[in-house]
Amino acid sequence: MQLTEGSLTILTDLNLTIKRGESVAIVGASGSGKSTLLGILAGLDTATEGEVFLAGHALHQLTEDQRAELRASHVGFVFQSFLLLPGLTALENITLPAELAGIRDARKRGLELLDQVGLAERRDFYPTQLSGGEQQRVAIARAFITQPQILFADEPSANLDEQTGQKVEDLLFNLNEQQGTTLVLVTHKTELAERCQQQYLMHHGQLESMAQEQRHVG
Amino acid sequence: MWASIALRLFWRELKRGELWVIAFALFLAVFSVVTLTGITESVRSALSQRSASFIAADLILRSSRPFQQEILDAASEQEVAQAQQMLFDSMLFSTEGMQLVTVKAVTASYPLRGDLVLRQSPRIAEGERGALQTGSLWVEPRLLSLLEVAIGDYVELGASNLMVAGIIETEPDAPLNVFGGNPRVIMYLDDVAATEVVQPGSRIDYRYLFAGAESQLASLQQQLDASLSVHENWQRLDRETAVGAAMERAESFLLLAGLLGIVLAASASAVAANRYRQRHAESVAVIKALGATTTVARKIYCSHLLLVTLFSSVLAMLVGLVLVVFLQQGITLWLNDFEPVFSSRPLFMGVMTSVICAGLFAARPVWQLAAVPAISVLRQLPGWRFDVWHLVTGAIAVWLLMWLFSRQFVLSLLLFAACAIFALLLMGMAALLVKIAKPMAAGQSSALKLALANLRRRLWQNSFQLLTFSMALFLTLLLYFLRAELLEQWQSQIPEGAPNQFLVNISPEELPAIKAFADQHNLELDTFYPMVRGRLTYINDEQLRQRASKEEDDQRVGVGRELNLTWTEQLPKNNRVTAGRWFDENGGQEVSVESELAERLGLQLQDELVFSIGGQVASATVTSIREVDWNSLQPNFFMILSPDVLSDFPASYLSAFYLEGEQGDILNQLNRDFPTIIVLNVDAIIQQVKEIIAQVTVALSGILLLVFAAAVLVLVAQVQATMEQREQELAILRTLGARYVFLRNAMLFEFAALGTLAGVLATVLAEAVLGLLQYRLFEMPFQLNWTLWWIGPGAGLIVVTLLGWWQLRQLLATESAVLMRRAIYS
């Protein structure tokens, strides 16, 4: 990353392959580069060096707009701070990616997902009228509406209390399982990471695979 | 797809009140421009209709040649209303006497503007009103006694015998001739030929009167200009008369006030547009992360802004137009003869304002908005940055609006340059002041320390905030004081009880009787000014032949080549010596000359002037040049001589007194008792000027209110722009254990400091600009406004602190847990 004060290397010597339908957790301390890696994998950002392939597309060769189109058709997101549009209702927030991707029956799908996340009653509520857990459930429904091939989740339960966090995590994994989506999860919670098939530890910009035994010891 | 997202976002955010700052700023900008244009147009139209009544037409073509058929045809072709007048001096004979009179012969359509009141009775306000008819004439009341005739008697004018039908009570275009003139007579134009008074070589003033729409008159003027000879010239209301000057000032002021209002409303839009960008940055990042390309994001937010602009502009134009129509109806109630003119200009200006505001103020922030990177969903958004291009496009927008509104390229450029220089100065001063706040904080209470630290930390942002606060306060102060100043100057120009009746041609023998008459009727007579008519014949031994005196060109002081000379030991009120010195007790043979006449004649101090008075000669040395306030409607003289020069010449006297409206019978009595004294009633003119002042006052108050609203909105928009940052800081301070009182005080100190600084800066600038404007634009003497020095900083302190408190009070009262949660989620 080039900064005005010079350059800063966040990720280095990093090789990672994620197979279709696999669930992968990336754990690490704050500032270790987890979110940067997520941004690059999802095509939100580009690396200064290296190659990234997403669903067969060479992300590092695509323009920003091409990456956006790829995200619209292949990617779903769940963010730590929910990031719902405050001006739209719960249902409208859910249908937004579908509309952007030009999906026709967005509303029907949106209503189904709302039902699945248990918020059918709240469809016309605005984000500020929903609790944190409810907002994240809306965000999860939003992430699945385009039936993405891959879902990126950035600390999905970090802003929620333990109980609510647990419910949201369950919901995420259930939907993921139902839809057969590839899941890339960034978290600092070991218990959450353990629910994924693969776990990696991010440390000083480098990624290490965590073997089962390592995790148990850790 | 993007259109429906934009529409939904717009509708939802509007309903939830999230767009009110930008929507209201745009509303205010368009509303102010529509109403300012409407008010200015209405008042200008009322004023010009009013001024038209002073010349009985909208436009006059004067000629010394008899009426030309092609000119009459051209007017018919343009479909403008027209009337003709002939003015000439002639002797009028009755069986008992004769009198030199000024005859005004008019066509039936006269007057085109204003009201001609003729009475079939010897006294004003009595008897039936009459109308012009063939074979008769109407006379000034004093002519009845001068000729010893009664209504219905016949008088001889040239070869004709004409019946005296009655008196002239009000004549719209009667000259204000303080020094008298011949009694006036009005007759029918078709009767002139039979009188045979018009002979080759006769001095006749032919006048073509026109009235109609401005465009028609302009094209008529253009059409005729090509064929006019040296004998013809156009006449409009004389700007040097009291009424003309009052109107010109009113128009200048309205224009200036309007321009300043626009600057403020435009600033509010600029600030709000920036705020709009900040508020929507996160949403754009989310939309882009969810798969929208930059183009789609741009389309969504451009349409979103377009919808906000459309909504605000249409609403503003509707409300603005309703207000303008309401105002016009108000003027109609007030001035019976006012014909509201509905032009499309306010609407056009409204549309242009919304296009300019959306295109130049908001286009760049929205363009940048769409460029917010999608990665911002994972990383903190870049903070507030000073954007030079936004400033440049905003500045261009302000100037464009000023130009469109004033339709004066140079004026708009000058005023804009002045505003830009002030803005730069203010910015520099603000940055400096905020920077030196650090040493000031040493040893202060901790709340004050925190406030000053806050100010310093957001240096650029605060400098910009201080700049807009100062600008808003400065413009409001400027307008408020100019308005007060203007009104005060006008009021003092025509104080209550100022003389409205002039007595001219009083002989020395009549002085005691006049004084007795005044005592008997409780009239307060002004000084008796002696008057001798004389002609200036030599300047420093150089004989004057063709050199004209000012009197010849200026109707205000009378006709003819002779000057009215007076003498006095005291410098009259409303006079100011600008060069030399007033008469010395030891001196003698001195003359004091009015400055404009001195300039025209090229007179210098110590010049020797020779006057010819009734065949005798008097000479005097110029020892002073005087500035005279011609707007004062008081007796004024071009030449004042020391008493030793003229006191031996036979003089008549001039005096003045104030008469209340309902004491009209005193005038009749005065006319009967002193038939040779000319009584001039200037009350009508004083009333006209007062009416103009009253109209303009209402318009100005409205504009001031608009400007204040715009100023407040700028402040609100500025505070709103820092809201998120404040919320986060507050969350941290609360969590660290800061108490409510401490935080409240810190916030109050911060706004009080900003407000006071802005107030001081605004005051300094307002004082400088007021001085300049008073001197240049309104031709008023410079005075330091001491009240400004406490009102400016005081208003800054109170308004900014209260606005800050009002906006942040809810934030302060929010529980720390809520604040913390919001800070984390955002």
Nearest to B1 among A35, A75, A100 (CB): A100
Chain A contact set for B825 (CB, 8 A): 81-82, 132, 159
pLDDT band at B268 (very low <50, low <70, confident <90, very high): confident
Torsion sign across C-alpha atoms A146, A152, A154, A155: positive
Query: Is B293 in Cβ contact with A68 (below 8 Å)?
Result: yes
Residue that is written with structure tokens 């979110």 in the block: A35
How far, in Å, CA of B58 to CA of B339, rounded? 13
- Nearest CA among A189, A152, A181 for reference residue A39: A152
- Decide if B321 contacts B347 (C-beta within 8 A): yes
- Decide if A74 contacts A100 (C-beta within 8 A): no
Query: Is A65 in Cβ contact with B293 (below 8 Å)?
Result: yes
Quote the pLDDT of residue B546: 39
How far, in Å, CA of B685 to CA of B488, rounded? 19
- Nearest CA among B140, B146, B127 for reference residue B680: B140
Nearest to B377 among A44, A64, A99 (CB): A44
Indicate if the pLDDT at residue B155 is higher than 90: yes
**C-alpha distance from B382 to closest chain A C-alpha (Å):** 13
How far, in Å, CA of B242 to CA of B292, rounded? 67
- Sequence length of chain A is 218
Indicate if the pLDDT at residue B632 is higher than 60: yes
Phi-psi label, residue B296: left if phi above 0, alpha if psi -120 to 50, beta otherwise: alpha
B725 touches chain A (CB under 8 A): no
How far, in Å, CA of B575 to CA of B638, rounded? 11
Quote the pLDDT of residue B555: 32
How far, in Å, CA of B763 to CA of B480, rounded? 12
State the average pLDDT over residues B529-556: 63
pLDDT band at B181 (very low <50, low <70, confident <90, very high): low
pLDDT tens for residues B384-417? 566 778 778 888 888 888 888 888 788 788 878 8
List B564's β-bridge partners, or say none.
B533
**C-alpha distance from A194 to closest chain B C-alpha (Å):** 23
List B101's β-bridge partners, or say none.
B90
- Sequence length of chain B is 826
pLDDT tens for residues B19-61? 877 888 888 888 888 887 887 777 667 666 666 666 778 888 8
DSSP B544: P
A25 or B130, which is more confident: A25
B289 touches chain A (CB under 8 A): yes
Q: Kindly provide the ipTM of the predicted complex, given to two decimals.
A: 0.88
pLDDT band at B586 (very low <50, low <70, confident <90, very high): confident
**C-alpha distance from A211 to closest chain B C-alpha (Å):** 28
Indicate if the pLDDT at residue A15 is higher than 90: no
Indicate if the pLDDT at residue B179 is higher than 70: no
Nearest CA in chain A to B823: A81
Nearest to A87 among B13, B293, B379 (CB): B13
How far, in Å, CA of A116 to CA of B545, rounded? 108
- Nearest CA among A67, A205, B417, A198 for reference residue A214: A198
How far, in Å, CA of B722 to CA of B275, rounded? 9
| pTM of the predicted model as reported, rounded to 2 decimal places | 0.67
pLDDT band at A138 (very low <50, low <70, confident <90, very high): very high
Residue that is written with structure tokens 């349409």 in the block: B303
pLDDT tens for residues B220-236? 888 888 887 777 777 66
- Nearest CA among A164, A186, A201 for reference residue A80: A186
What's chain A's average pLDDT? 84
- Decide if B32 contacts B336 (C-beta within 8 A): no
Tell me whether strands B639-641 and B563-567 are parallel, antiparallel or unpaired: parallel
pLDDT tens for residues B568-581? 888 887 788 888 88
- Decide if B274 contacts B391 (C-beta within 8 A): no
pLDDT tens for residues B314-365? 999 999 889 888 877 776 766 666 667 677 888 888 898 888 888 877 778 8
- Decide if A41 contacts A152 (C-beta within 8 A): yes
How far, in Å, CA of B767 to CA of A89, rounded? 53
Residue from A44, A89, A154, A186 whose CB has the most chain B CBs within 10 Å, to mutate: A44
Residue from B16, B22, B372, B378 whose CB has the most chain A CBs within 10 Å, to mutate: B378
How far, in Å, CA of B762 to CA of B466, rounded? 10
Quote the pLDDT of residue B671: 73
Query: Is B291 in Cβ contact with A44 (below 8 Å)?
Result: no
B222 vs B68, B226, B228, B232, B634, CA distance in Å?
17, 7, 10, 14, 39
Torsion sign across C-alpha atoms B460, B466, B468, B471: negative
